[in-house]
Structure 1
Amino acid sequence: MPGKVEVSRVALYRAMVEQALDALLVLEGEHFIDCNPSAEKMYGLTREQLLLCTPLHLSAKTQFDGRDSLTAAAAYIALTKSGQPQRFDWASRKADGSLFTTEVALSLLDEDGRQCIIAVVRDVTERRQAELVARKKNEKLRILLENFPGGVSLIDENLRVVAWNNELLRMLDLPPALFQGQQPLAREVFEANIKRGEYGEFSAASDEKKLAKLMDIIQSDTPYSYERTRSDGSIIEVRGVPVEGGGFVTTCMDVTAKHHIEQEFRKQSLFLKAVLAHMPQGLSVFDAQLQLYLWNQGFLDVLNYHPDTIYQGVPFADLLRIMAERGEYGEGDIDELVNTRLQLARQFQAHQFERTRPNFHTHLVQGKPIHENGKLQGFVTTYTDITELKKVQMALSKANALLEQNIAERTTELRHTQDDLMRSEKLAALGSLVAGVAHELNTPIGNSLLTSSTLQAKTQEFAQKVDEGNLRRSDLNAYLQAAQHASELIEHGLKSAADLVASFKQVAVDQASSKRRRFHVSKVCHDVIATMMSKIRQAGLQISMDIPVHIEMDSFPGPFDQVICNLVDNAILHAFEGRADGHIQIQASMLDQDRLEIRFTDNGVGIPKENLSRVFDPFFTTKLGQGGSGLGMNIVYNIVTSLLGGDIRIDSEEGSGTSFIMQIPLFAPVNDTD
């Protein structure tokens, strides 16, 4: 019957509502009009109490999204009434005020214009807490995976890649699309790499065999480890560890740099062994405990150790004992000899010494401590057989002694030769001086001779007139005047000759003797220029001197004369070629109370720049075969810088003349010549 069926259906729905584990609430307007027992149990309220409540009585003040409950509830109810069922998390409140998390589903019941909201509420507090814990664990796992220094992946019991990090994708250059939004099967990853030509370690196998080999590895229950050389040349070390219940944790490390370092280390080790084997010296390295760590064959050869006595870790004391027992350290108690050297070694101080062994071989022993980060690590020592070197050094020492003796002899000969050349140059200068003086004497003496002859003729003529008795007063007066004039001329000529002879005598004596005395610079310069006037006039030169008469020196006038003579000769020979208006000026001035500056300046052609540094070199001349010996300026330099104790420099510009500037002490230094 229709009525019975309808009642049964209502009863059935009521039974379902009553037995439902989720809380069911019917909302009409602002109040609940119905609920089930699960709702009473969930909120801790009776049915009557619940039917008096509004949604706000069963809610927290604010919701998870930050909205207040009234605003959030109104929004969800409005959407539900518009025909859009809602499902959301809701912060609920029990009768005792405690809060808990619920999942709420709202649906609209519209019957004959009457709208009600059916709310299905499930307590998800424990589930959300479990999810939160799981998320935290997953986040920690993700942080761990992303900060792992290599690639890492987790394959579950179904052979699906369920976890990985970005370093794995980068390192293996895996296709990103394979991992986006899904957990690929390990087979799919292997197949993608095989198609790209990866897994070169299985290059001899077909693609099917490669895949089968890889699947066998991850399906086994034993750890595995192998290296992959990728197509780009990088080397990946793959390690897998089985997980209880099925699956594998796989790690990948890029060991390309490690392989390169290992290869370089092996290469360097090979080179080190080759160097040690071919070193001419013996070498040993002891650690901080004075135990042998490293050595070469030269160590055994130089010190004559038997190979059986040398091994890594042998104490230094044992090796000292072997040497002591062989008499290497001389006579004495063996233990005392060993302990003495052992105490020195324990100081770990750098040392170097030579030791002649009983076989007459001499060894150079050099030791140096090894430090790392400020900490003593050991001691390295080299042993060099220098027996032949010692022989060569002795022979070289003898050769050097003989060479020094020969050099001394040749130097003495050279000095004698130089002295002879300087004497020859002096004699040549003196000869030139004599010739000039002789020419200068001819004029006053000749004039005096001519005047005396004329006076003699006048006297004879006067005497004849006296004898004849026809002497007149006018004749007497004429004779007296002629005699007076002749006497004056003869006196002037002879006085000039006498002055010239005196100057020449002084210059000649000074240059011949080179004795030290006090003299006035002005007087000496005038004397030497007077003796050279014939040569100066013959060259068509003008010479002027600006020398204060009060300047007095305690020095060597002879060498000083020679300096002036050589400078004049040098100017005549070199300075005025092609010039008719040559002029030489000699100036002297005091630098201070003890030093004099003399400038010898000409207005000649100057000295080429490339010759300035060679002017004072012996035998350097630009007039070889034309009167230049190359010794004049060298003599000037030697006299000024050694005997007179001064210095000399040149100031010259080609085409604008030359100045020789000498700075000389008024008191010459005392030397062996004195």
Structure 2
Amino acid sequence: MNKDKIKNESSRAREVVVEDDLQMVERVSFSADFLLMVINGTSDPIFVKDRQHCWVLVNDAYCNFIGRSREEIIGKSDFDLFENEIADASWEQDEFIFTTSKQNESDECITDAGGKKHYIAIKKCVFKDEAGNLFLINTIRELTQQISQHFQVEARLRESKALLEQVLNNIPQAIFWKDCNSVYQGCNSFFAEIAGVGDPKLIKGKTDFDLPWKEEEANWFRLNDSNAIKSKMPESIVKPQLQADGRQCWLEVNTIPICDAQGNVLNILGTLQDITDRKEIEVTLQKLYEELEIRVHQRTSELTKVVTHLQKEIKQREAIENQFRLSEERLQSLSANVPGMLYQFKLGAEGKFSFPYISTGCLEIYELPPEQMIADASLFISCIHRDQREDFEKSIANSARSLQAWQWEGRIILTSGKTKWIQTASRPQKQKDGSIIWDGVVMDVTPLKQAERALKRAYADLEKRVEERTQQLMQSNVALQKEISERHSVQSELLASRQRLELLIEQTPLAVVEWDTNFQVKEWNKAAGNIFGYTKNEAINNYFEFIVPQSASEQIHHLKTALLSQKGGTRIVTKNTTKSGETIICEWYNNPLVAVNSEVIGVASLVRDITERELASATLEQQEQFLRSIYQGVEQLIFVVNVLDNGDFVYADWNYATEKAIGINATEAVSKFPEEIFGDFQGAKIRQQYIRCLEAGISISYEENLVVQGQEHCWLTTLNPLRNAEGKIYRIIGTSFNISDRKQAEINLKQQTQELELAMNELQSTQIQLVQSEKMSSLGNLVAGVAHEINNPVNFIYGNINYANNYTQDLLKLVRLYQENYPQPVSQIQQLVEEVDLPFLLTDLPKLLDSMKIGAQRIREIVASLRTFSRMDEAEMKKVDIHEGIDSTLMILENRIKAKSERPTIEIIKDYGNLPQVECYPGQLNQVFMNILANALDTLEESIELENKTDSNPQIQICTQLVELDKVKIHIADNGMGIPEEIKGKLFDPFFTTKPVSKGTGMGLSISYQIITERHGGSIECISEFGEGSEFIITIPLHQH
């Protein structure tokens, strides 16, 4: 009895082992195929290397990426496929990861087999298998979109930086910036040139000790930086410095600390200005002042000699009276032609003032004839600007009280409304009757006010000293006048008038030159000597050619003709030559000297050196032309809007690009409102932006759509407010870019991106389907091969088992017959009967043969199902029995249908209709059945696990039917937990899955949908309610077109 039990258990164990082995082979085969399908199905390149840096696994995406087949890659290293430089870098990085076992991620730019650049992220990590072998797993991910956005940001930053560098390099001032350790971080071109480094980029990282300064100069810069950092206030110092080219110059350095919100100094901003010219002017003025001191002393000595000479010539006055008259006429003519007004101002003892004398220059300056002002002296006071009238009266009173030389500068307003700047200087002399007389000159200094401000102080001091000397001389003259009879009183007045005129001529900052009719020099004042370099003795009797270059001779001859013919005064600007050979530019005022008898006795010239002014004017003109060429030449629209006092806006100007874009000339747009240019609707929109800029008080940028010249364009506009000295915004500078093309490009790019995404999804889907088809084809070949190999020995066993059974029955009959006829066998046979347990063998052997027959029959059924399912590798369309495909699929899934410890058997309810053969792709259709049935089994198992019910009745119902005579419907339903409504719409989307990462790819139903709809022209739908189960309905035509 024990032996029977042992043998029965042994027989059942063999059956279980065989069945488990078959299930294990099936699971392993499906797991490896599934893993390979997933790896080849991903769009990202994946590859695996062994410890010898050789490829052992690559997916299809990586093969396509580097343009090599799998056979060309597997077993090779980087040195077999790539250049040495790339291979060395890859080998070194992989070895580091192998050694440290650290995960590594990096971004790289590589070129694929088609020559296209890719910006990729490479992730590498080490994996160790059960045997302890190390493998390097690499995944590659495209970064094209992120990198593109990153590059766009970088491009905008580069543009902004280039614009800032352009602005800095075009500012006519040296600018630099350092860190808190006085290390240069940058500068503009102007500073780089001063520092002798040439390129501003070379300044970074240097200190003042690295630049061509002296050590003491570098220490001075350091000290200046330190003071600014400590005080957190700007520092300004003026120091001499030796430049890189060896020049000695004066520099004004302003150091400004840049602080953060907490007041910590982050950087130092500095400006450096070369003030050498200003210093040289100060030195020149000092030298001029000293020279004037010397000349005043010399002049005083000369005047003393003149007085002595006059005393000696008193007895000869009768003889020289005619000469005095001639001189008087000449001086009167000079007085009439001096570009100013000579006057004699008298303040009576009773406080009344009058003008005993005013030259004809009054008409030019005051636009009044001298007779009118002599008749009404109040006109002189009334012309003075009301803001300066009190100052004028105080200065007169001070001069009258102290009898000091009087000088005054201010504005006058003429009856015509014009405003002028005048400069007047005179000396007071108190008369015996208590009155005071000032002899002086009024000059129109409107164009010279700024240029001669420094010289004014020097000349004012000189005037004071000359006045003192003149006063002494006049006192001597008064003593002499006592000795002269009344008949010489006129002569004395003429002499005094001549002396005053001579003093005025000598003291004027303008060069005074008197020519005779042959244009020989007859008079040459000190200012002329300063300008041309010739002393009076060197210049007297020289012809005009000695200071006029040959190129201007013809112009001078025409001028001589006009002057000698008394055609009036002239003003010309010419180039002249100094004694040192230097060419200067001078402004000449020329007037003929006409005697009482209307005879021209010579020419008087007033000369001003305007070389610096002309050069400055030429430079400014060049700069203006340069900026104007940029303003008019750029393609960017630039426009200027004036902000009126009432807050309204009118256009002041715009450049050529704006004219071209809008179709309106800039001159036509001046003083027009936005509505007049762009119409009421668009003009109102534009006005709102101007108001927004005005209210914000800062630069604003915005995009706007405007219709100009009949076409709508998109513009990127920037408005920048400008403020006046009071901080009020008085003007808006605007720039606009036409970004219509860019906007259209963005739209096109977005559309192309959507099309590419669609194409990519289709490509991925096609790729996955191809991979799945290839996998199923390989699986079909494998299954067909295995089925064929199993089928032969099984047929041999199944075919012979009936014969074995018959032979066994015959032998058993023979044994029983022997037992009946020979009940007492010999001892040896009796012993063997007991050893083999003959009674058990006689009953168990038939059962054993029946069991073997049942097992062989089961194997034949499984092989038949496998052969049916192996039609997956059949790519051609053919007519098949749908029911066979469903049954073969159920046969393969039977292991999952059987009862388990945690659940009962899943009941399969078949309701097959009477269907004809269907024209289809059988392998692909079986794949659809496999996906849907496998999902139904997953759902039922998950429902049982969640509900924790072991007594549930899980079912799958399969129903087929013929509809409309030309279509077949297959219903596959389960009584699981159903599908939520929010998920149902995504069931057939690629990569959508509710399963864990290791259990599903999300491609099963997506591929099934494509097989049914695209390959068979049918439909597939899902009907489900959460908690009520799910039903998939597949409809395909009987015949494919």
Fold similarity call, TM over 0.5: no
TM class by smaller structure: 0.3 to 0.5
Report which structure shows greater RCO (CA 8 Å, sep ≥6): 1
Normalising by structure 1, report the TM-score. Answer: 0.37
| Larger-gyration structure (1/2) | 1
Provide TM-score, normalisation by structure 2.
0.25
